[in-house]
Structure 1
Amino acid sequence: MKLLIADDDPQLVRALRITLAAHGYEIVAAADGAAAITAAAQSRPDIILLDLGMPRLDGIQVIQAVRGWTNAPIIVISGRTGSADKVAALDAGADDFVTKPFQVDELLARLRALSRRAGARSSESSVHFGDVVVDLAAKAVTRGGSRVHLTPTEWRMLEHLSRNPGALVTRQDLLKEIWGSEQVSDSGYLRLYMSQLRKKLEAHPSAPVHLLTESGMGYRLVV
């Protein structure tokens, strides 16, 4: 699998190149935003690791540029910890956000999750978590072998999460997917439907392990 690492910190790029190559990844590197766009166009990476604070073009501009022609998952790696920066990156088209400093094991787990997501988008017709099976083709859900009844809105929410397993799905994405407009005000509807899904699909709804909330940003389905 080919990774593009776009970061202006040479020591971090060197460390990631060594570590990720040891795990079987092919690495392409870029030291600024303009070079990142060129490298993405030429090498067609499977996943992009991207810093926000780069010279020439910042990370948000890079995301907006490459999203015009590729759906490759993008993980933002940044020292910026504010929720506004995270939301801006996710709204621009990033798939996940890792804050510096980070553990390599965490990054590897995120990479595996996004790899599964890309595979699920292209080939998988069902998603499994716990004792739940989400059949995307048949639009059906079973738990422990028994059919689970979902309302149309609950299904659309679960379906969108299931088509992006392991990835952070923003509230804006869900609102657009369910109600057709990212301008719709949340007003607690997403929390309500997520609560209902947890009651139907989690072993312990008050302590979910699969249908997770990312505070201030959105939701994640852990399979």
Structure 2
Amino acid sequence: MACEDPGSDDTDESSDTGDTADSGDTADGGDSSDGGDTTDGGDTTDGGDTTDTGGSTDTGGTTDTGDTSDTTEGGSLCSDACAVVNECGGSNFDECLVECEEFLAEISELPECVPPNEAVYACIAGLSCEEYDALNAGESPYPCEDEIEGLGECGDPGCETAAGGAIDGTSCEFSYHCTGEETYSVECSQGEGCSCAIDGEPVASCEDASLVCSEVMGEGVVDAVNECCGWEL
């Protein structure tokens, strides 16, 4: 494991002023100055003036900033964890940081392994030097024990090959497994040939057991298995 084994402000400001300034003011002067004065001249003055602004203003403005920034409090997992490692006598900060960041970048191709490894780094980032020493001592119970045990095969992701067989080549077996993927296995015996399986389920076979068994301890075993089973490991 890297580094000696070892939020999101969603400001959704919805500002809907929704303000409707409807002056709706109707100044109806209604000033009807009806002097009603009728003189012999027959003059009548009727003001009859009416003013209606009828103005309606709806800003209807909605502002959604939608700003989301994912940050880890106190900095990145790697820098926080490596600060503890460096302070407590572990590896150099810069070396630890490079190793940690490269490791997390590598396992990003294995999504199921990212959360458990991040949990370990987060735990280390919160340790005191006394706790860090106890972690390195590895005597149960120790700090971050649950997080480390939770790694499973994600603690050392990659591909693993296992092979073996009888010295005289009459039988042999082979297995191949990559983190997060199926397990490929082959069992061969003289006279019965080879049986190929994926996660324990038979999927293919070949009659010549020596094809695999003759190479089971050599560099050509993967090629022999691929020829026998039709795989591309």
TM-score band (shorter)?
A: under 0.3
Higher helix share: 1
Greater C-alpha radius of gyration: 2
TM-score by length of 1: 0.23
TM-score by length of 2: 0.22
